[in-house]
Structure 1
Amino acid sequence: MNQTFSRKGKIKQLLIILIPILITQLAMFSMNFFDTMMSGHYSSKDLAGVAIGSSLWMPVFTGLSGILLAVTPIVAQSYGGRKREEVAFSVIQGVYLAIIMAIIVLIAGGLALNPILSTMKLETIVHEKAHDYLVALSYGIIPLFIYNVIRSFIDALGKTRVTMLITLLALPINIIFNYLLIFGKLGFPELGGVGAGYATAITYWLITLIAIFIIHKHSSFSTFGIFQKLYFVSLSKWKEILLIGIPIGFAIFFETSIFAAVTLFMSNFNTTTIAAHQAALNFASFLYMIPLSISMALTIVVGFEIGANRYKDAKQYSWIGITIAVIMAFLCGVILFLLRTEVAAIYTKDLEVVQLTAQFLIYAIFFQLSDAIQAPVQGALRGYKDVNITFIMALISYWIIGLPFGYYLANYTSWGAFGYWIGLIVGLAIGAICLISRLIHVQRKNLFMEKKNAV
């Protein structure tokens, strides 16, 4: 990653970093996508079970791995400030935290999973499928969390093509094991949707081992000495990671857990509605990888510029990223509207589920427009290490505004299940407006300090 001197140069460098991140995110999410889709082709019960299991897992994973995202701005600013000696130490401390967090998740999951599923009043078979899918997936939690730290290190250096290649290598393996374990091919046991959990766990192990091998052998990373020296636990570095990471993690958790909460409320509807809702939500989350990837790219480039005290460049990058996200959201919205029935048919052969999913996908279009603003803004703010406001706004927009309003519409108006989606869209839009205001404030503050220091 290098300093740029023009808008054209910034767009080029941002795209060089962004495109591999986008491909990586789409590929990683494709694991969940193929879990859901292939389970749906096995049976609608397996679709509902895996979808519910995924909806419970994703907020936990994204929230806790969000804490580990603090490694990205920390490494990016150290790299931009030419403090290479700090990088390996920060990464190893992140790995220590990742292992501890993964163990905590395993223990908590073992205690809370059945009670949570029991509150959802699911059909017995759907309950069992969701439980067993998550148990299978749990075998890959420790390597997955470690991989998130390694990936943050690699991406912070601007080498996003490397993580893209790792993920692209792992994706076909995930699909193959899905096929073998879901449908019981080539002598493997026929596990249905549960097989998707084992396939994904295997893939997580492979991704992590490949990443460790690369940072040992590739000259771009081996010079930093990651895993080449034993470091003792540093509470001060943990504190730095947690002070930045916890607000990031909570912001992501509040955003993703809201969908798990909606799923809990959706359990009052029939299995067809649950399956359609989860299928539409799965595809909406798939599209969310675009603004999320832009967000991650902005954290890297903004953090790099802030580390070098180039505040005007950081500001330019922020607005370039937001503009790209909005344009992409409009394009995806048009395509989704025209092909919503075809998209719904990807998930199931059940005609009733297809028709209902297509209706839910109309609301997903409006999700994309608000996400196109709030996600890149969050990424830019993380580059500035300004993370507390994103946590506060996620709490307010989703849990104080979105969910209560959605609950009212779903239960006291004729909107039914669609009411939850409308409520979340409203909350998301309010959050996006507030985050834009915060970004403008931070940018003005930094530019003022730059001028003051120049004088």
Structure 2
Amino acid sequence: MTFIRQEARALAALTAPILITQIAQMGMGTIDTLMAGYVSTRDLAAVAIGTSIWLPAWLFLSGVLVALSPLASRLHSSDQQQRMPHLQAAAVSLGLIMGVLTALVLAIAAWLLPSFSNDQQTAAIASDYLLAVALGMPAAGLFLALRFYSEAVGHAHRVTLVMLGGLALNIPANALFVYGLLGLPELGGVGCGIGTTLVFVLMALALLADTRKRRLPTHWPLLRESLQPDWEQIRQLLKIGLPIGAAIFFEVSLFTVIALFLAGLGPTTVAGHQVALNLSSITFMIPLSMGMSITVRVGHHLGRNNIEAARRTAWLGIRLNLLIAAFNATLMVTLSETIAGLYSPDPAVVSLAATLLLYAAVFQLSDATQVAAAGALRGYHDTLMVMLITFGAYWVAGLGCGYWLGFYGSEYLGIAPMGAEGFWIGLITGLTMAALGLLTRLWRVSNRYVH
């Protein structure tokens, strides 16, 4: 019981600042949307289109660099701490390289965007917004490399302070360019992209200064080392990180594809789906943050060669996530109509959203389990199987089941096409299969280490 209490406190202490950081990240996107909406509906739509493109790319970048967490946490707790600055330098190199590549991908997407839209004015704004955000991707890559290193060595609160500062700066930075303050041109939605890039740069510089002061040896040449990449260390980061980035992309893109399929079923269906999805995304931040904490704690124990503690921490984290999910699910079930009513005055939207929230309550348990198991497996550096399991669960089982139930049903089984509800049953199916697959994998990996 002593170990459980101590480890639960350690996980909670690490999860709290990571959770605040995650919420602050979501807040920046919300600020962009709200401020663009006050310019015009067209600017709001353009920012929404641009965000739907750059956010998955940014999450992939984040997934690749989160590989730093298990590597750094394991080194930090071992007798090889002298290698830590070199690992940070390699991560900075990778962050900058991946940031530039992400910027190029977004620039190409911005160039192609007008070709896929009938509304050329909205597409032009979205394209320029996307180009503005693309300029900030190298800084975002640098920030992420510094962030995950800081969290791995127990300085997650320093990242939180920088992130909250960035959130506070996002409003005036956007306002300068969106509304044309201080004599600057009024750029509307495009100004949101410029403001976001400015905030990325400032946050990267702030966290770089903090890292320089608190987490590196005095006068250690981080910049010079980063400009001379350690390709072997980068290869190790990519070996762990690319499958993580791909797994995250599979999940994010699944929700995007489902939204596209539902678009043909009318605005009420789309709105109801969006309400349930938005609330699920908010509640998911807690188990997601816990999953990141599990990665760090498992890495710490493995760095000390305490195999049994790593295994116990992994399974404790899963149990804690299930408790969190059960609490979230209870709120969704008991307050479904009240919550849905906060999003829309339309009775039809509220009714559908309240129904979908009941499905969302069910998949809270599977979602919390799979993200905790995936976090533990990252701590063991076991990421390739996570990618394969999530691809099969989400895109084959989940999307396949959802599409079949949503549009076709089954006359033989007496199931009529279920629309949005069918896709949410598909989500439950996919997340449950992912949870079962990842739990099985974790059991094998953790026992292999023990024996």
Same fold flag (TM > 0.5): yes
Task: Decide whether the 8 Å contact of 1:33 with 1:286 is kept in 2.
Answer: no
- Read off the aligned partner of 1:149 and give its amino acid letter: A
Task: Decide whether the 8 Å contact of 2:103 with 2:138 is kept in 1.
Answer: no
Out of 420-429 and 155-164, give the one that drifted further: 420-429
Q: SS at 1:233's partner residue?
A: coil
Q: Report the equivalent of 2:15.
A: 18
1:67-126 deviation line (CA, Å, top 9, x unaligned): 11111111111111121221111111121122222222222222234546755x665565
The match for 1:154 among 132, 142, 150 is 150
Report the Cα distance in structure 2 between the residues aligned to 1:184 and 1:372, rounded to whole angstroms.
43
Q: Report the equivalent of 1:79.
A: 76
Q: Which runs of 5+ in 2 are unaligned?
A: 410-416
- Read off the aligned partner of 1:171 and give its amino acid letter: L
Report the Cα distance in structure 2 between the residues aligned to 1:125 and 1:350, rounded to whole angstroms.
29
Is 1:96 paired with 2:93? yes
Report the Cα distance in structure 1 between the residues aligned to 2:345 and 2:127, rounded to whole angstroms.
24
Q: Report the equivalent of 1:328.
A: 324
Task: Decide whether the 8 Å contact of 2:33 with 2:48 is kept in 1.
Answer: yes
Task: Decide whether the 8 Å contact of 1:216 with 1:226 is kept in 2.
Answer: no
- Read off the aligned partner of 1:175 and give its amino acid letter: I
- Read off the aligned partner of 2:306 and give its amino acid letter: R
Out of 140-149 and 316-325, give the one that drifted further: 316-325
Is 1:204 paired with 2:200? yes
Report the Cα distance in structure 2 between the residues aligned to 1:354 and 1:277, rounded to whole angstroms.
10
Q: Report the equivalent of 1:420.
A: 423
Report the Cα distance in structure 1 between the residues aligned to 2:132 and 2:354, rounded to whole angstroms.
31
The match for 1:295 among 291, 307, 310 is 291
The match for 1:27 among 14, 21, 24 is 24
Cα–Cα, structure 1 residues 365 and 229, in superposed 2: closer, same or farther, change >3 Å?
same
Q: SS at 2:381's partner residue?
A: coil
Post-superposition offset of 1:425: 2.2
Q: After superposition, where does 1:185-196 map in structure 2 within 5 Å? A: 191-196=187-192
Cα–Cα, structure 1 residues 389 and 28, in superposed 2: closer, same or farther, change >3 Å?
same
Q: After superposition, where does 1:160-309 map in structure 2 within 5 Å? A: 160-178=156-174, 181-182=177-178, 191-218=187-214, 220-222=215-217, 225=220, 227=222, 229-230=224-225, 232-270=228-266, 273-274=269-270, 277-278=273-274, 280-309=276-305
Task: Decide whether the 8 Å contact of 1:72 with 1:152 is kept in 2.
Answer: yes
Is 1:382 paired with 2:406? no
Report the Cα distance in structure 2 between the residues aligned to 1:441 and 1:46, rounded to whole angstroms.
51
Out of 302-311 and 178-187, give the one that drifted further: 178-187
Report the Cα distance in structure 1 between the residues aligned to 2:183 and 2:125, rounded to whole angstroms.
22
Report the Cα distance in structure 2 between the residues aligned to 1:272 and 1:191, rounded to whole angstroms.
32
Q: Report the equivalent of 2:414.
A: none
Out of 205-214 and 251-260, give the one that drifted further: 251-260
Report the Cα distance in structure 1 between the residues aligned to 2:351 and 2:181, rounded to whole angstroms.
31
Report the Cα distance in structure 2 between the residues aligned to 1:411 and 1:81, rounded to whole angstroms.
54
Cα–Cα, structure 1 residues 412 and 392, in superposed 2: closer, same or farther, change >3 Å?
same
Cα–Cα, structure 1 residues 200 and 52, in superposed 2: closer, same or farther, change >3 Å?
same
- Read off the aligned partner of 1:90 and give its amino acid letter: L
Higher RCO (Cα < 8 Å, 6 or more apart)? 1
Task: Decide whether the 8 Å contact of 1:40 with 1:347 is kept in 2.
Answer: no
- Read off the aligned partner of 1:73 and give its amino acid letter: P
Q: Report the equivalent of 2:62.
A: 65
Q: Report the equivalent of 1:452.
A: none
Post-superposition offset of 1:206: 1.6
Q: Report the equivalent of 1:396.
A: 392
Is 1:371 paired with 2:367? yes
Task: Decide whether the 8 Å contact of 1:77 with 1:303 is kept in 2.
Answer: yes
Q: Report the equivalent of 2:436.
A: 433
Task: Decide whether the 8 Å contact of 2:107 with 2:134 is kept in 1.
Answer: no
- Read off the aligned partner of 2:77 and give its amino acid letter: G
1:126-168 deviation line (CA, Å, top 9, x unaligned): 5445434323322221111111110111111011111111111
Q: Report the equivalent of 1:136.
A: 132
Cα–Cα, structure 1 residues 440 and 301, in superposed 2: closer, same or farther, change >3 Å?
same
Out of 67-76 and 406-415, give the one that drifted further: 406-415
Cα–Cα, structure 1 residues 369 and 381, in superposed 2: closer, same or farther, change >3 Å?
same
Report the Cα distance in structure 2 between the residues aligned to 1:222 and 1:339, rounded to whole angstroms.
52
Post-superposition offset of 1:356: 5.5
1:237-294 deviation line (CA, Å, top 9, x unaligned): 1211111111111111111121222233344344565455445434422222111111
Post-superposition offset of 1:385: 0.8
Post-superposition offset of 1:316: 1.7
Report the Cα distance in structure 2 between the residues aligned to 1:223 and 1:300, rounded to whole angstroms.
25
- Read off the aligned partner of 2:282 and give its amino acid letter: F
Task: Decide whether the 8 Å contact of 1:263 with 1:274 is kept in 2.
Answer: yes
- Read off the aligned partner of 1:372 and give its amino acid letter: A
Task: Decide whether the 8 Å contact of 2:61 with 2:102 is kept in 1.
Answer: no
Cα–Cα, structure 1 residues 360 and 437, in superposed 2: closer, same or farther, change >3 Å?
same
Task: Decide whether the 8 Å contact of 2:110 with 2:131 is kept in 1.
Answer: no
Q: Report the equivalent of 1:105.
A: 102
Report the Cα distance in structure 1 between the residues aligned to 2:288 and 2:147, rounded to whole angstroms.
15
Out of 258-267 and 369-378, give the one that drifted further: 258-267
- Read off the aligned partner of 1:80 and give its amino acid letter: S
Cα–Cα, structure 1 residues 204 and 172, in superposed 2: closer, same or farther, change >3 Å?
same
Post-superposition offset of 1:368: 2.3
Identity of aligned residues (%): 35
Out of 359-368 and 321-330, give the one that drifted further: 359-368
Cα–Cα, structure 1 residues 183 and 96, in superposed 2: closer, same or farther, change >3 Å?
same
Out of 363-372 and 249-258, give the one that drifted further: 363-372
1:22-49 deviation line (CA, Å, top 9, x unaligned): 1111111221233345545666555544
Task: Decide whether the 8 Å contact of 2:21 with 2:159 is kept in 1.
Answer: yes
- Read off the aligned partner of 2:426 and give its amino acid letter: G
Q: SS at 1:386's partner residue?
A: coil
Out of 165-174 and 176-185, give the one that drifted further: 176-185
TM-score, L = length of structure 2: 0.87
- Read off the aligned partner of 2:137 and give its amino acid letter: I
- Read off the aligned partner of 1:306 and give its amino acid letter: L
